[in-house]
């Protein structure tokens, strides 16, 4: 049975505990080589080739590779190259990798799982001949290195017994790859073949470009204090002690998007984040890292600077110091705890998208990489393919950041495609937002129903047949993933029967299958302007689950009996078979409702639904539901946004609101039902009440314009927003609502057992309980909710994870993360298309000042839903106009022209393509006119407008304001800044 | 940490269906009527059986048609990583005592000894998961050593579920703390009857069957080991148990 040995392991755990664990050593662990006739492995487990071949000038004999831990951790990008095959991964290595980096562990597992790569896992720690005990005085690292060598030696000996056909005398060799010189020497001494990764890879003749992917982790140079740009980091032990005795605080570092020399550390100890500033203060921390901070004495505390600072490629050191000083001179108003980063607890480096910075030195290997994400510093890389890569979007990984280097060191991972290509840019924004977008694997697709799909008599037996009922769906034009349909018919007692029928996705996606896991990981369908990244394969999303017109489909139905004044008499849920009579657009449905001559059953149905929806909506708003100028909030209120093509002008028809009201009603009904049945593990959605300080900017902005915003409750807020109108600034109300939206918290999914009932509240909808049920094709949360509801009514079985609140909560974390990322990706896509739109265009647009900053104005351009920073002081050189910043009333003054928040301006938009690698939307002030600062309107001057310095980067807006395209713009006229008369504009109704 | 690796090995190197090493010895003490020592991995327990004898203490406890079974479960203060404050009397020990009594009552032919008492004492010397199981198994051996007539062996074993899908048998302490729900079964392996069944958390119904089956398989495997030890003990000592043979 077992050979067993026990061994001791001591672990510290508060008090010192002696932990003794059993450790069984086995005889039944096989070598995994096809050549072996001694081991009794199944052929499936023999992954290593009989005749391993690799084109290598030095090692031109059959060999397997054994790697040490650091090779896997540092050179995972090289390992992911298909050219490396027949690799033995030891358990010692796997365990260490798992312990040190979960992302690399996952990537390693993917490589191992890829059958073509022929990676074999050898469980050396439980093999009776390769297990070794740690010797007295031996460090764990040394012990593990020895274990790796021992296993390699075992292989060498084991394989000698099986000579290959090619060279008859000797068996397959084993090469140990390690970048640790000492380990290599020891290995060679014991009779192994050992090599560094770099040496090995360079001898490969079939692997062009693989050298670029080598990690520069082991870059070392003599550091003299004089050369060092950064203070040194504390050792892990010092950090540990410092945190323990309270001198240091642990937290996660968050870099500022706007100022590359500033960031904050979020800690559990302080409510407010700790501010860190300057090169030395940031001390090589990169966004997301877990760091140790030391608080400065209170006298040295400062406030976040109001300036916007980009790391300009051209900046020389002197300028740099100036910039640092610029940061330092801060008024003593809102001081925040300030600290400096003294050590890194855990790096959270990932791979970054970006471009190479133009390099004037021809043939130079050393290059600078500029990440797309502004929060990430530039990275030094070495590549021999500069000419090829300079026009491409590429991916780079960080390897290390020595004290002497201004930027971190990294290596090239792969190229995505040509800069500016829409495909490439889409790829970039999907990668940057961590959106899984690869093709569905064959394994996932194997769980799809076999075509042709037919409804069997058994299916019908388990479902209510609603094929005879006149059901219809209403969606945006071009929608192919229709997940909801409705019906409404009068009952004899004068009430209505209303049904909401949702695609029965959980019928097709069974728990625990690869298909289910994939959907759970994707969590949501992501809509880009020109592309949709499906959560489930197309066969389901656009066909079998889509409730298309005149096709029989499975649905999960929620049917109410409702009185004429929209009171629910009772609710029932059941699985059903439906046949939608019409798949309409909002417009078509609206036309049917409006056309009094139409009196067929669909028309009657729609009118009934419409009248009930109006009552429901009124009641909801009376309860304090918010109407905010943001698709974010709209999204929650579940809406019409299936269709992203029409980003600018979203016309709200009655039918939009009609569908929305019934989806809300269904979601709430389902939430109540599943909570009742599963008080611990119901998946719900909540929208927390924002903490009052969140509203400060809104209240301040309102007060500056003479409006009191009451934020004591959702209802009060809704009412005071309704009251705040300015006759001379029709866009004012919308902007206030945009500001209000920014005070809101993010709505999140959660497992009911994790919170108290009071916390279930949905602030935006003013609903005590809410969930998502109505879009299972594009949201995974809805699939879980469907399963819960199906279990409630006995239509389906439960399974372990469904009833486990911890598992549900874990699932919620992923859903929340993916949703957030999907939203960001969607916005980034809009921004990308705006850039494309502005190529070869210069255009005057109306905008409004949203915020006033120390050196810039934040401007909102309603037409494109864009928000950006207009620098009043140029990044380099002398300012052309003298602006005075007044912090008290948040204004900028230049001569007699004053800018406040909400002031209308006219700006000139154009795309700065002078830097091929980094296109920028540039904005210049047109109106009000300031001498030497503003530019003439395009209509007056079509010339050299682009060359000015006052750039404006168009940021991805945090919210897309909801406005309609202004009717034809009038020609610009000369007006003084004081006259706030703005152009006629159709105002969005809210 | 995963309870079971992609290569199918558990943290300590066992496969899913493998027991820990079991070593046992009957008749380790002279004073009691029966005694046994049992190791299951690093879990080590001692069992001592006194009786059947006259009722001690109040006579009113006596039963007219059956024997009174008195159990006591205790843990040595040095048995766990951190020193325990007292060996018994806490809630867990009381519960263990009760469950032990339930298991041994299922096999002792109580009707043979009316108005008498049998004492079963169990001491956990080292705890490394499956304490209850080791106690039940040791108690069986001690009862046999004492010559008390049994219907058959009562054997206990734990099982759990790794990564939500792979059933594991004979759970170690590390696996207990890392893993999910834990099922303990005390069974009569020959007849397949279950004497005690306890779960640390809820199991989903879908998994319960296979986990129970694996625990029962574990009981049968342990039975073979115990039976072998008893037979070897018999050969060594030449003792004879007519009650057991007649069964
Ligand atoms: Zn072999």
Tell me how far apart the alpha carbons of residues A575 and A569 are, in angstroms, rounded to a whole number. Answer: 20
Q: Which residues pair with A750 in a beta bridge?
A: A684
| Highest mean predicted confidence (pLDDT) among A304-318, A682-696, A736-750, A778-792 | A778-792
**Is B206–A799 a contact, with Cβ atoms under 8 angstroms apart?**
yes
pLDDT tens column, A763-776: 888 889 999 999 99
Phi, psi of A672 (to 5 degrees): -60, -45
Which positions in chain B touch A112 (Cβ < 8 Å)?
Answer: 6
Interface ipTM: 0.87
- Using the Cβ of B117 and the Cβ atoms of chain A, whether some distance falls under 8 Å is answered with no
Asked if residue A789 has pLDDT above 70, the reply is yes
Question: Which residue, chain included where needed, has tokens 């843990």?
Answer: B75
Count of residues making up chain A: 990
- Using the Cβ of B79 and the Cβ atoms of chain A, whether some distance falls under 8 Å is answered with no
Name which of A7, A14, A19, A24 to mutate to probe chain B: the one with the most chain B Cβ atoms within 10 A of its Cβ.
A24
pLDDT tens column, A183-203: 999 999 998 899 988 888 888
**Is B9–A2 a contact, with Cβ atoms under 8 angstroms apart?**
no
> Which residues does B48 contact at the CB level (< 8 Å), separation at least 6?
B29, B31, B32, B34, B35, B120, B121, B122, B142
Per-residue model confidence (pLDDT) at position A886: 78
pLDDT tens column, B221-243: 999 999 999 999 988 886 555 55
Number of A to B CB contacts under 8 A, please give it. 60
- Using the Cβ of B202 and the Cβ atoms of chain A, whether some distance falls under 8 Å is answered with yes
Give the three-state DSSP class for A426. Answer: helix
Nearest to A716 by CA among A705, A728, A702: A702
Q: Which residues surround ligand 1, an ion (CB under 5 A)?
A: A 31, 36, 38-39
Q: Which of A24, A121, A798 sits opposite B204 (nearest CB)?
A: A798
Query: A135 C-alpha vs ligand 1 centroid, how far in Å?
Result: 28
Asked if residue A977 has pLDDT above 60, the reply is no
List, in sequence order, the alpha helices (H) in A793-893: 805-837
Which positions in chain B touch A18 (Cβ < 8 Å)?
Answer: 81
Name which of A47, A127, A800, A811 to mutate to probe chain B: the one with the most chain B Cβ atoms within 10 A of its Cβ.
A800
pLDDT tens column, A201-219: 888 877 777 777 887 665 4
Asked if residue A314 has pLDDT above 70, the reply is no
- Using the Cβ of B81 and the Cβ atoms of chain A, whether some distance falls under 8 Å is answered with yes
- Using the Cβ of B177 and the Cβ atoms of chain A, whether some distance falls under 8 Å is answered with no
Give the residue-averaged pLDDT of A589-618: 89
Q: Which region among A226-235, A320-329, B160-169 has the lowest average model confidence (pLDDT)?
A: A320-329
Asked if residue A16 has pLDDT above 80, the reply is no
- Using the Cβ of B20 and the Cβ atoms of chain A, whether some distance falls under 8 Å is answered with yes
Per-residue model confidence (pLDDT) at position A226: 62
Which positions in chain B touch A91 (Cβ < 8 Å)?
Answer: 5, 7
Q: Which of B9, B14, B42 sits opposite A20 (nearest CB)?
A: B42
| Banded pLDDT at A646 (limits 50, 70, 90) | very low
| Highest mean predicted confidence (pLDDT) among A150-164, A864-878, B29-43 | B29-43
Q: How far is A12 from chain B (nearest CA, A)?
A: 11
pLDDT tens column, A245-291: 888 888 889 888 777 788 888 888 777 788 888 888 888 889 888 88
Give the residue-averaged pLDDT of A810-814: 92
| Banded pLDDT at B1 (limits 50, 70, 90) | low
Per-residue model confidence (pLDDT) at position A132: 87
- Using the Cβ of B197 and the Cβ atoms of chain A, whether some distance falls under 8 Å is answered with no
Question: Which residue, chain included where needed, has tokens 């974010």?
Answer: A632
Q: How far is CA A362 from the centre of its chain?
A: 37
Nearest to A956 by CA among A534, A431, A374: A374
Tell the burial category of A756 from Cβ atoms under 10 Å away from its Cβ (0-12, 13-18, 19+): exposed
| Banded pLDDT at A311 (limits 50, 70, 90) | low
Tell me how far apart the alpha carbons of residues A65 and A48 are, in angstroms, rounded to a whole number. Answer: 10
Give the three-state DSSP class for A272. Answer: coil
Per-residue model confidence (pLDDT) at position A498: 93
Give the residue-averaged pLDDT of A720-749: 81
**Is B13–A109 a contact, with Cβ atoms under 8 angstroms apart?**
no
Which positions in chain B touch A21 (Cβ < 8 Å)?
Answer: 11-12, 42, 172, 174
- Element spanning A109, H or E: helix A102-113
Q: DSSP assignment of A119-158, as one string? A: EEEE-GGGBTTT--PPPTT--HHHHHHHHHHHHHHHHHHH
Q: Which of A4, A15, A125 sits opposite B21 (nearest CB)?
A: A4
Name which of A17, A21, A679 to mutate to probe chain B: the one with the most chain B Cβ atoms within 10 A of its Cβ.
A21
Per-residue model confidence (pLDDT) at position A325: 53
Name which of B8, B13, B82 to mutate to probe chain A: the one with the most chain A Cβ atoms within 10 A of its Cβ.
B13
Q: Which residue of A has its CA nearest to B6?
A: A121
Both tokens assigned to A927: 């109106």
Tell me how far apart the alpha carbons of residues A416 and A427 are, in angstroms, rounded to a whole number. Answer: 7
Asked if residue A331 has pLDDT above 60, the reply is no
The strand pair at A290-295 and A338-346 is best described as antiparallel
The secondary structure of A326-392, three-state, reads HHHCCCCCCCECEEEEEEEEECCCCEEEEEECCCCCCCCCEEEEEECCCCCCCEEEECCCHHHHCCE
The secondary structure of A927-982, three-state, reads ECCCCCCCCCCCCCCCCCHHHCCCCEEEECCCCCCCCCCCCCCCCCCCCCCCCCCC
Position with higher pLDDT, A527 vs A149: A149
As a whole-number percent, the residues of chain A with pLDDT over 90 amount to: 20
Q: Which region among A190-199, A498-507, A977-986, B54-63 has the lowest average model confidence (pLDDT)?
A: A977-986
Q: To the nearest whole number, what is the mean pLDDT of chain A? A: 79
Asked if residue A316 has pLDDT above 50, the reply is no
Q: Which of B9, B42, B207 sits opposite A22 (nearest CB)?
A: B42
- Using the Cβ of B65 and the Cβ atoms of chain A, whether some distance falls under 8 Å is answered with no
Asked if residue B158 has pLDDT above 70, the reply is yes
pLDDT tens column, A456-483: 888 888 899 999 899 999 988 778 889 8
pLDDT tens column, A507-551: 999 998 889 999 999 999 998 877 789 999 989 988 899 998 889
The secondary structure of A622-665, three-state, reads HCCCCCCCCHHHHHHCCCCCCCCCCCCCCCCCHHHHHHHHHHHH
Q: How far is B187 from chain A (nearest CA, A)?
A: 23
Give the residue-averaged pLDDT of A373-391: 85
**Is A22–B12 a contact, with Cβ atoms under 8 angstroms apart?**
yes
Q: Which region among A589-598, A944-953, B40-49, B75-84 has the lowest average model confidence (pLDDT)?
A: A944-953
Q: Give Dmax over CA atoms of chain A in angstroms.
A: 96
Give the residue-averaged pLDDT of A742-761: 88
**Is B82–A126 a contact, with Cβ atoms under 8 angstroms apart?**
no
Query: A34 C-alpha vs ligand 1 centroid, how far in Å?
Result: 8
- What sign results for the dihedral spanned by CA atoms A122, A127, A130, A133? positive
Give the three-state DSSP class for B65. Answer: coil
**Is B7–A20 a contact, with Cβ atoms under 8 angstroms apart?**
no
| Banded pLDDT at A656 (limits 50, 70, 90) | confident
Asked if residue B173 has pLDDT above 50, the reply is yes
> Which residues does A701 contact at the CB level (< 8 Å), separation at least 6?
A736, A739, A901, A902
Q: Which of B7, B174, B202 sits opposite A21 (nearest CB)?
A: B174
pLDDT tens column, A665-700: 999 999 999 999 999 889 999 998 888 888 887 888
Which DSSP category does A429 fall into?
Answer: H
Position with higher pLDDT, A733 vs A319: A733
Q: Which residue of B has its CA nearest to A15?
A: B82
Nearest to A687 by CA among A776, A750, A773, A624: A750
Query: A166 C-alpha vs ligand 1 centroid, how far in Å?
Result: 19
Which positions in chain B touch A45 (Cβ < 8 Å)?
Answer: none
Asked if residue A941 has pLDDT above 60, the reply is no
Per-residue model confidence (pLDDT) at position A308: 62
Q: Which of B13, B174, B204 sits opposite A26 (nearest CB)?
A: B13
Buried b (16+ CB within 10 A) or exposed e, A138-155: eeeeeebbbbbbbbbbbb
Per-residue model confidence (pLDDT) at position B160: 92
**Is A20–B128 a contact, with Cβ atoms under 8 angstroms apart?**
yes
Per-residue model confidence (pLDDT) at position A512: 86
Q: Which region among A5-9, A34-38, B146-150 has the lowest average model confidence (pLDDT)?
A: A5-9
| Banded pLDDT at A987 (limits 50, 70, 90) | very low
Position with higher pLDDT, A497 vs A723: A497
Asked if residue A62 has pLDDT above 70, the reply is yes
Q: To the nearest whole number, what is the mean pLDDT of chain B? A: 89
Both tokens assigned to B232: 């070897």
Per-residue model confidence (pLDDT) at position A784: 94
pLDDT tens column, A628-642: 654 332 323 233 333
- What sign results for the dihedral spanned by CA atoms A539, A544, A546, A549? positive
Give the three-state DSSP class for A188. Answer: helix
């Amino acid at each position: 049975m077992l050979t067993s040995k026990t061994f001791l392991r001591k672990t510290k755990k508060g008090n010192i505990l002696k932990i003794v664990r059993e450790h069984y050593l086995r005889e039944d662990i096989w070598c995994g080589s096809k050549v072996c006739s001694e081991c009794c492995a199944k052929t499936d487990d023999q992954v290593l080739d009989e005749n391993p071949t690799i084109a290598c000038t030095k090692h031109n004999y059959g060999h397997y590779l054994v790697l040490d831990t650091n090779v896997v951790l540092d050179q995972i990008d090289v390992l992911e190259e298909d050219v490396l095959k027949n690799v033995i991964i030891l358990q010692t290595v796997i365990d260490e990798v798992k312990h040190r980096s979960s992302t690399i562990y996952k990537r390693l597992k993917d490589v191992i799982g890829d059958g073509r790569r022929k990676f074999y896992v050898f469980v050396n720690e439980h093999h009776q001949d390769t297990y070794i005990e740690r010797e007295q005085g031996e460090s764990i690292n040394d012990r593990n290195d020895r274990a790796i060598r021992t296993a390699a030696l075992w292989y060498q000996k084991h394989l000698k017994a099986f000579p290959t056909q090619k060279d008859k005398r000797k068996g397959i060799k084993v090469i140990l790859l390690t970048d640790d010189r000492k380990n290599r020497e020891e290995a060679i001494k014991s009779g192994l073949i050992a090599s560094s990764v770099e040496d090995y890879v360079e001898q490969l003749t079939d692997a062009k470009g693989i050298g670029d992917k080598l990690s520069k982790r082991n870059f070392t140079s003599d550091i003299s204090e004089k050369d060092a740009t950064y203070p040194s980091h504390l050792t892990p032990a010092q950090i540990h002690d410092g945190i323990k005795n309270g001198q240091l605080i642990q937290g996660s570092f968050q870099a500022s998007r706007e100022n590359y020399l500033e960031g904050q550390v979020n800690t559990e100890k302080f409510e407010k984040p700790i501010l860190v500033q300057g090169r030395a203060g940031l001390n090589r921390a990169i966004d997301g890292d877990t760091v140790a901070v030391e608080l400065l004495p209170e006298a040295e505390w400062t406030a976040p600077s109001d300036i916007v600072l980009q790391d300009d490629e051209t900046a020389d050191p002197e300028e740099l110091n100036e910039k640092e000083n610029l940061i330092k001179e801060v008024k003593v108003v809102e001081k925040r705890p300030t600290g400096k980063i003294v050590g890194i607890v855990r790096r959270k480096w990932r791979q970054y998208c970006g471009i190479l910075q133009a390099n004037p030195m021809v043939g130079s290997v050393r290059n600078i990489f500029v990440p797309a994400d502004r929060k990430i510093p530039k990275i030094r890389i070495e590549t021999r393919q500069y000419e090829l890569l300079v026009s491409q979007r590429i991916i780079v990984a960080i390897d290390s950041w020595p004290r002497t280097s201004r930027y971190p060191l990294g290596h090239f991972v792969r190229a995505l495609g040509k800069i500016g290509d829409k495909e490439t840019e889409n790829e970039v924004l999907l990668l940057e937002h961590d959106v899984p977008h690869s093709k569905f694997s064959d394994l996932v697709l194997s769980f799809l129903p076999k075509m042709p799909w037919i409804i069997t008599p058994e299916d019908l037996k388990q479902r209510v047949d609603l094929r005879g009922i006149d059901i219809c769906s209403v969606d945006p034009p071009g929608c192919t993933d229709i997940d909801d349909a409705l019906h409404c018919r009068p009952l004899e007692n004068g009430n209505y029967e209303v049904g909401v029928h949702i695609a029965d996705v959980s019928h097709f996606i069974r728990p625990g299958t690869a298909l289910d896991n994939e959907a759970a990981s994707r969590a949501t369908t992501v809509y880009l302007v020109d592309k949709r990244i499906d959560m489930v394969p197309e066969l389901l999303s656009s066909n079998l689950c889509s409730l298309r017109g005149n096709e029989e489909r499975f649905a999960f139905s929620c049917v109410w009996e409702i009185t004429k004044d929209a009171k629910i008499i009772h609710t029932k849920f059941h699985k059903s078979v439906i046949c939608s009579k019409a798949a309409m657009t909002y417009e078509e449905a609206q036309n049917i409702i409006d056309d009094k001559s139409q009196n067929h059953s669909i028309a009657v149905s729609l009118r009934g639904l419409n009248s009930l929806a109006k009552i429901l909506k009124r009641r909801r708003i009376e309860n304090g539901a918010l109407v905010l100028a943001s698709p974010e909030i709209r999204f929650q209120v579940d809406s019409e946004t299936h269709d992203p093509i029409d980003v600018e002008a979203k016309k709200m028809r009655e039918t939009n609101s009609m569908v929305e009201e019934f989806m809300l009603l269904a979601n709430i009904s389902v939430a109540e039902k599943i909570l009742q049945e599963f008080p611990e593990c119901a998946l719900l959605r909540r929208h927390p009440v924002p903490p009052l300080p969140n509203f400060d900017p809104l209240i301040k902005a309102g007060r500056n314009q003479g409006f009191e915003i009451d934020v004591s409750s959702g209802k009060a807020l809704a009412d005071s927003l309704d009251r705040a109108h300015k006759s001379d600034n029709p866009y004012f109300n919308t902007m206030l609502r945009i500001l209000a939206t920014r005070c809101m918290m993010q709505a999140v999914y959660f497992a009911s057992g994790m919170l108290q009932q009071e916390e279930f509240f949905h602030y935006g909808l003013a609903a005590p309980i809410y969930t998502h049920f109505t879009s299972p094709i594009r949201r995974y949360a809805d699939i879980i909710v469907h399963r819960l509801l199906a279990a409630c009514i006995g239509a389906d079985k439960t399974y372990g994870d469904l009833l486990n609140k911890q598992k549900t909560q874990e699932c919620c974390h992923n859903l929340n993360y993916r949703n957030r990322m999907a939203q960001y990706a969607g916005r980034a896509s809009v921004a990308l298309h705006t850039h494309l739109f502005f190529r070869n265009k210069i255009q005057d647009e109306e905008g409004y000042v949203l915020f006033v900053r120390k050196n810039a104005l934040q401007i909102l351009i309603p037409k494109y839903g864009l928000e950006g920073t207009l620098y009043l002081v140029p990044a380099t050189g002398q300012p052309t106009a003298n602006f005075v910043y007044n912090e008290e009333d948040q204004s900028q003054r230049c001569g007699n022209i004053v800018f406040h928040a909400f002031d209308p301006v006219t700006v000139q938009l154009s795309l700065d393509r002078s830097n091929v690698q980094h296109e920028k939307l540039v904005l210049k002030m047109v109106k009000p006119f300031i001498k030497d600062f503003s530019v003439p309107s395009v209509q007056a001057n079509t010339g050299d407008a682009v060359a000015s310095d006052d750039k404006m980067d168009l940021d991805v807006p945090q919210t897309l304001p909801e406005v309609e395209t202004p009717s034809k713009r009038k020609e610009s006229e000369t007006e003084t800044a004081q006259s706030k008369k703005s152009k006629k504009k159709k105002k969005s109704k809210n | 940490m995963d309870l079971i690796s992609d290569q199918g090995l558990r943290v300590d190197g066992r496969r899913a269906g493998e027991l820990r090493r079991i070593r046992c010895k009957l008749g380790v003490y002279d004073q009691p009527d029966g005694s046994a020592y049992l190791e299951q991995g690093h879990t080590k327990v001692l069992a001592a059986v006194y009786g059947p004898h006259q009722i001690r203490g109040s006579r009113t406890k006596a039963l007219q048609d059956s024997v009174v079974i008195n159990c006591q479960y205790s843990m040595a203060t040095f048995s766990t990583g951190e020193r325990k404050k007292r060996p018994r009397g806490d809630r867990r020990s009381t519960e263990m005592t009760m469950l032990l009594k339930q298991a041994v009552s299922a096999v002792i032919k109580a009707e043979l000894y009316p108005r008498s008492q049998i004492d079963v004492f169990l001491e956990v010397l080292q705890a490394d998961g499956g304490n209850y199981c080791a106690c039940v198994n040791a108690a069986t051996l001690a009862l046999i050593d004492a010559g008390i007539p049994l219907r058959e062996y009562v054997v206990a074993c734990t099982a759990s579920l790794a990564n939500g899908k792979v059933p594991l048998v004979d759970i170690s302490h590390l696996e207990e703390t890392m893993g999910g729900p834990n099922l303990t079964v005390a069974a009569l392996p020959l007849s397949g009857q279950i004497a005690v069944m306890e779960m640390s958390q809820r199991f989903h119904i879908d998994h319960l069957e296979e986990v129970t089956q694996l625990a029962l398989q574990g009981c049968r495997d342990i039975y073979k080991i115990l039976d072998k030890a008893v037979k070897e003990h018999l050969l060594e000592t030449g003792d004879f148990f007519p009650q057991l043979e007649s069964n």
